[in-house]
Structure 1
Amino acid sequence: MKTSASAPAPQKAHRIALLFNANKVYDREIIAGVGQYLLSTRVSWNLFLEEDFRCRLGGIERFDGDGIIADFDDPAVSEALADCRLPVVAVGSSFEESSHYPDNVPYIATDNVKLVSLAYTHLIGAGLRHFALFSLPLSNEHRWARQRELAFSRLREADGRTHEQIDAEIYRGLSTSAPTWNQAIEQLTQWLDALPKPVGIIAVTDARARQLLQACLIAGIPVPEDVAIIGIDNDPLTRTLTRIPLSSVIQGTEEMGRTAAHMLHQMLHGARFPGRRILVPPVGINVLDSTKHQPLASPYVARARHFIRQYACQGIRTEQVADYVGVSRSSLEEHFRRELGCTVHQEILRQKLDQAKALLVKRDLSSADVAVRCGFKSVQYLHAVFRRELGCTPREYQARESAREAV
């Protein structure tokens, strides 16, 4: 008589605290990486995370758990865990000086040098010759921003820039707050006006890039013809809050989360990695309109395209573009033919079509919704434009792009 094999004993569930401010995209994606590790393995963890996603440290010393993964970019977190008896894996910024890393815990770091270098190389590839960096005010909480400043300074020094020139190229501005918002935009605009044009600017975060873009829109500075902007984080929320889509460096945050989880898993079974450091490079760049720089001889065309990028999907006409630029329609049409080989109307239509293509790729809107959002008179007109310009229907385009992504 055969006996059935005994079922494997259930694995012990470890209690793990994630100390992050998950209202920030950087922290959320690290947490997502931890989740991916759990899904791809047989690890059993019960995770503690504040319900409103903020990081509260009160009582953390009494946490009755088995391990902690924490954001050490927050000095309060690293201080609170200095004498922690539990296994801890730190996640945070890379540092130029090794003394800035904690000695007693393993540390998974985003590679700031490679983040800034990737953005800088991208701007060079866009044909730009002048560069600047929009940072954050000096503070202990912004040590990672200072590291990105240092990386930018090293790149500029390699290009032969003096310290005085580099100082003029780095701007920290004011902290974001309601009372100082107007003052912050005014001072930022003054810095922008003083920079040589065209200029490529790296913002240390997407939030900072959005503020930079708003200052350009308010001041009427053409983006990306006069100012090309690239952020860091690839934050989807930021992209929904800007009229001109922002290019951004994609950090390796999910890989950081997976690596941190794997390391803590080993530590829960006796491994120790005191002082070990792992630098995680960026994934790449999401290239959007804010860095698609095209040198133009005519300031009228640059100003017109800046206006079209913002309002093409709102049904603007050639006359409105000419009024904004301050020249006659016939004169503007002549500048467009000479510079771009197309009419103003064709440029408006191209912008609308590009936006429609981007929305279709997301696959969460119907063709009718896309037509409305992109300023087409009807879904039938959207279909007609797609057939004429791309030789397919919107749905065929969507299916083609989906198949391409799957390869």
Structure 2
Amino acid sequence: MKMPATHKIALLFNANKIYDREVISGIASYLKSTRAAWDLFMEEDFRCRLNGIDTWVGDGIIADFDDPQICEALADIKIPVVAVGGSYEDVRKYPAGVPYVATDNEALIRMAFDHLIEGGLRNFALFSLPESGENRWAQERESAFCQLMQKDRLWAEIYRGHATAAPTWVDAEQNLIQWVQRLPKPIGIIAVTDARARQLLQACSIAGIPVPEQVAVLGIDNDPLTRVLTRIPLSSVIQGAVEIGRTAAQLLHQMLSGGRVRDSRVLVAPVGINVQASSSHQSLSHPSVMRGMHFIRQYACQGIKTEQVADYVGVSRSSLDAHFRRELGHSVHTEILKYKLKAATKILANENTQIADVAVSCGFTTVQYLNAVFRRELDCTPREYRDKASVSRESSQFGALAA
């Protein structure tokens, strides 16, 4: 049996970012599903260094063309190159003569906007990044956002803020807080990255602005690291980065096999939205309920009681309970319990975590109490719930493979 030829391939990405890591995962997925034999070159610390890349002795390159330095470094290279990056409204901005696989920036923003519209919001804003050559994709998302707002004749605002840097952090945070405070409420804000969304949630927390009742927040990237750094679980658009990687690897494989794909341009749509608490807007009218819900979303899993919520809101427990019953149909205690139960079901459905650890992380005092709540509310134990979720997940995966 003749073995396939082995090719030396360089992956030029900053794999410290979730988007780049998922693109690389897509490349790996393609290699596992084919007979392509590639020896991959990447920097050991996953950063992208270009010194000497023009003299690198290899067979092909897949690179992040959102980085202008990479575009410049590879402009005259003679081996096959496949570019990965953001989409452009103006087709003249795409690199000439290089196959290009792009995340669809317009589709990302449209999906985020539709999600907020469905939540009943009518005011919108975008939290972007300062304009720079490295942030061209952010400017494309700004343009897509503006076009959607104009098309639907809606009020909207864009705020670029400051680049993240220690010397300017305090001023940047204060300016962001002031911007959010003067926006009309309720409002849905799309952040161009999860990192920007995290800063926005932090600003709302400091200013005491209820999320999502007054400000619904939606990021882009579905970065698991960012999610664990936010008190209120962050909703995020899931980019099709894995599919981008698979497509880029397929194009390079074709080129290495003699195929002509020089002018190929592929737009990859987002996968969907990981909907969490930050964008689950509710039309609440009483300010005490909004402030109470804001506090519960941040601290429910730390074992808070109704009295602590009432102290934060600044009213008596009985008054707050009465407001909650009128607005939501149940008590403050029930709302805390609902939030903790929802957090527990998410962990059990997606992680192989010890039941005792689930109880602790979701604010239940004992495993016995967690079991009692599950039996009362869901008619099963936490272990039974996890087993059912595992069977359902495996069935979905089998169905996808069969299709």
TM-score bracket, normalised by the shorter chain, equals: over 0.9
Structure 2: gaps of 5 or more residues: 396-403
Q: Spell out, residue by residue over 1:219-255, the C-alpha distance to the aligned partner (whole angstroms, 9 max, x if none).
A: 1110000000001111111111111111111111110
Equivalent of residue 183 in structure 1, options 171, 176, 182: 171
Q: Spell out, residue by residue over 1:63-94, the C-alpha distance to the aligned partner (whole angstroms, 9 max, x if none).
A: 11000000000000010000000000000010
Which stretch has the larger CA shift, 370-379 or 147-156? 370-379
Q: How does 1:156-195 map to 2 (within 5 A)?
A: 156-161=149-154, 166=156, 169-195=157-183
Q: Structure 1 residue 400: deviation in Å?
A: 1.3
- 2:385 corresponding residue in structure 1: 397
- Hey, what's the Cα distance between the residues in 2 that align with 1:363 and 1:277? 37
Task: Classify the secondary structure of the residue corresponding to 2:190.
Answer: strand
Q: How does 1:46-65 map to 2 (within 5 A)?
A: 46-65=39-58
Question: Which TM-score applies when normalising by structure 1?
Answer: 0.96
Equivalent of residue 12 in structure 2, options 15, 19, 22: 19
Task: Classify the secondary structure of the residue corresponding to 2:144.
Answer: helix
- 1:307 corresponding residue in structure 2: 295
- 2:66 corresponding residue in structure 1: 73
Q: How does 1:4-403 map to 2 (within 5 A)?
A: 8-161=1-154, 166=156, 169-403=157-391
Task: Classify the secondary structure of the residue corresponding to 1:248.
Answer: strand
- Hey, what's the Cα distance between the residues in 2 that align with 1:77 and 1:267? 20
Task: Classify the secondary structure of the residue corresponding to 1:32.
Answer: helix
AA partner of residue 350 (structure 1): K
AA partner of residue 34 (structure 1): I
Q: Structure 1 residue 332: deviation in Å?
A: 0.6
- 2:399 corresponding residue in structure 1: none
- Hey, what's the Cα distance between the residues in 2 that align with 1:38 and 1:384? 48
Question: Which TM-score applies when normalising by structure 2?
Answer: 0.97
How many residues in Structure 1 have an aligned counterpart in Structure 2?
395
Structure 1: gaps of 5 or more residues: 1-7
AA partner of residue 381 (structure 1): Y
Q: Structure 1 residue 402: deviation in Å?
A: 1.7
Q: Structure 1 residue 376: deviation in Å?
A: 1.0
Note if contact 1:102-1:275 (Cα within 8 Å) is conserved in structure 2. no
Q: Spell out, residue by residue over 1:376-403, the C-alpha distance to the aligned partner (whole angstroms, 9 max, x if none).
A: 1110111011001110000111111122
Q: Structure 1 residue 315: deviation in Å?
A: 1.6
- Hey, what's the Cα distance between the residues in 2 that align with 1:314 and 1:263? 49
Q: Structure 1 residue 362: deviation in Å?
A: 2.3
Q: Spell out, residue by residue over 1:175-204, the C-alpha distance to the aligned partner (whole angstroms, 9 max, x if none).
A: 011111111111011110111100000000
Q: Structure 1 residue 10: deviation in Å?
A: 2.1
- Hey, what's the Cα distance between the residues in 1 that align with 2:228 and 2:386? 21
Note if contact 1:223-1:290 (Cα within 8 Å) is conserved in structure 2. yes
Task: Classify the secondary structure of the residue corresponding to 1:148.
Answer: helix
Task: Classify the secondary structure of the residue corresponding to 1:201.
Answer: strand
- Hey, what's the Cα distance between the residues in 2 that align with 1:109 and 1:63? 25
- Hey, what's the Cα distance between the residues in 2 that align with 1:104 and 1:69? 14
Report sequence identity in percent: 65
- Hey, what's the Cα distance between the residues in 1 that align with 2:161 and 2:379? 48
AA partner of residue 112 (structure 1): N
Q: Spell out, residue by residue over 1:299-323, the C-alpha distance to the aligned partner (whole angstroms, 9 max, x if none).
A: 1001001001111111211111111
AA partner of residue 388 (structure 1): R
Task: Classify the secondary structure of the residue corresponding to 2:189.
Answer: strand
- Hey, what's the Cα distance between the residues in 2 that align with 1:263 and 1:91? 11
- Hey, what's the Cα distance between the residues in 2 that align with 1:402 and 1:128? 35
